Structure 1
Amino acid sequence: MVDMELRIFTEPQQGASYDTLLAVAKATEDLGFDAFFRSDHYLAMGDADGLPGPTDAWITLAGLARETKRIRLGTLVTAATFRLPGPLAIQVAQVDQMSGGRVELGLGTGWFADEHTAYGIPYPDDKFARFEEQLAIVTGLWGTPQGETFSFDGKHFQLADSPALPKPVQQPVPVLIGGLGATRTPRLAAEYATEFNIPFASVEDSAQQFDRVRAAAKERGRGDDLVYSNALVACVGANDAEVARRAAVIGRAVDELKANGLAGSPAEVVEKIGRYREIGASRVYLQILDLADLDHLALIAEQVLPQV
């Protein structure tokens, strides 16, 4: 059975400066985790005040590309509503160059209407159709041989004779698609994705959705080359008191976290990760909500990472 990769996943819109994110990314690298990912949001959710304010995902990753050396860097996930597909392809390719080929693009439709209103970003009704065109354009631009041009005539986007530059280091840049949509999401994953991710879902729901994606990939004639992954909130402690303290800091109940995330002792967390491995997941994104608690990362690295 293959080893599980553990990746650190952050939610900076809840309140984090670039310096805070840099400290977490450096700890991620130093402690042996595989990757540092961040959400792509501009507005805090729930009761968080979001101070000192949002940071842009791709500006953050550009900075981290120059300040880290090993870990992979990406978004879980960039909202297609935030950026036009041509400039997004340029941004990701440039950050891939800046990192020496360590970038991954998680791309989704966008869903949080309030952040669009707060920052003057159009929130279209037909997000999924625009998302599908974005995938075709971004991957098409990257895949166009140098010296040739790329054109696209869609309902929402039109490109004519684009030089399709710059090129990323990686060919292809890994593309992550996720979600629990029963029909369109598996189809797009089978067509465009390197990795399929399910956020915050049970083992049972994940297994059902993984099977849908496998069926869509088989129908498309793909081999068994898709990576399957889950994202789950992490709250690990050396003892019950430490678990309870960490849960209280992020405003969650221990029992709820144990049911819906990766919470408890290192042994409990290792056992639950194993259940996701059994249904085909080979990566887990650990959602870390208290970015000041670097001891939390150290505990996971010391007592969970070697066992998965």
Structure 2
Amino acid sequence: MPDTRHFVLPDQRQIAYGIYGAQNSTSAVFYFHGSPSSHHEAFLLSEAGRRHGVCIIAPSRPGGGGSTFREGAAILDYPSDILALADHLKITKFGIVAVSGGAPYAFACRRRIPRSRLVGMGIVAGIYPVASLGTAGMKLPSRLMLRVATWFPGIVAWLIDKQLGTVARDEDEKKMEALLVADMQQSSTPSSEKLAWEAASPEIRKAVVMGVREGVRYGGRGPAWEMRLLGSHWGFELDEIKPGGKDELVMWHGDMDANVPLAMAEKAASQLGAHAELRTIKGQGHGTLTFHKADEIMKTMRRMLRGS
């Protein structure tokens, strides 16, 4: 696993991040992890990034992974953090790959960052605006957590820290893995996802576990505030994100996703218009889509970057 790096923003907040894939390549993408998770999750795409010559910069969002919590943050605040980090790393143009709860932040970047810099995006099992699209078909615990976090993020922060944070801070890393495996055994998890976990390399499993572990190890405040943001109005509508020049957007979504139902992705694609391509993956759920489609994702992002 690459070393964690740190960058101090102008307001003195710290961003923790890692660099994966082809580290010396000029083709760069930012990886926006799921929720709750952290920058370590990007390891899932690292090998594919090397094969396709794409450098992957993965920041942890405020409150997780070692990044400073931002009091009262909005989703539309995040693009300024990404631009500051891109400037620090001397990256003039880049793409974004966003997974699950990272999707709203990617769309915020598309809303705020010029096309001359952000040249394309890939959304993998992304969550879309529940405030306008609803949560029909989403598994009950996820619906409840989003609803409660919207009004009472402090309660959700306490629950996350009690259920996950205490385990994350335990010296025995196996406890977190056992917790994730137990959650995967639920009836709503597709068999393809369970089989993929069983077949995954020890390195991939470690990256998934470390991603979640570091995402909640610093407490539940960051993840809970993020859930509040995901369940509320994002500050913009998807149909406000207009195509421009060679603007490209590809969405990958499993037809058996119980965390974010396919119907939600289909509605989002309709709102985004003709420039958004939805690729439905048969027989796949939510959690393992990233490494199932790693090569395709990196190949697609490289094409976007080189075609811009």
Give the TM-score range, shorter chain: 0.3 to 0.5
The answer to which structure, 1 or 2, has the higher relative contact order (CA under 8 A, 6+ apart) is 2
Higher helix share: 2
Higher Rg: 1
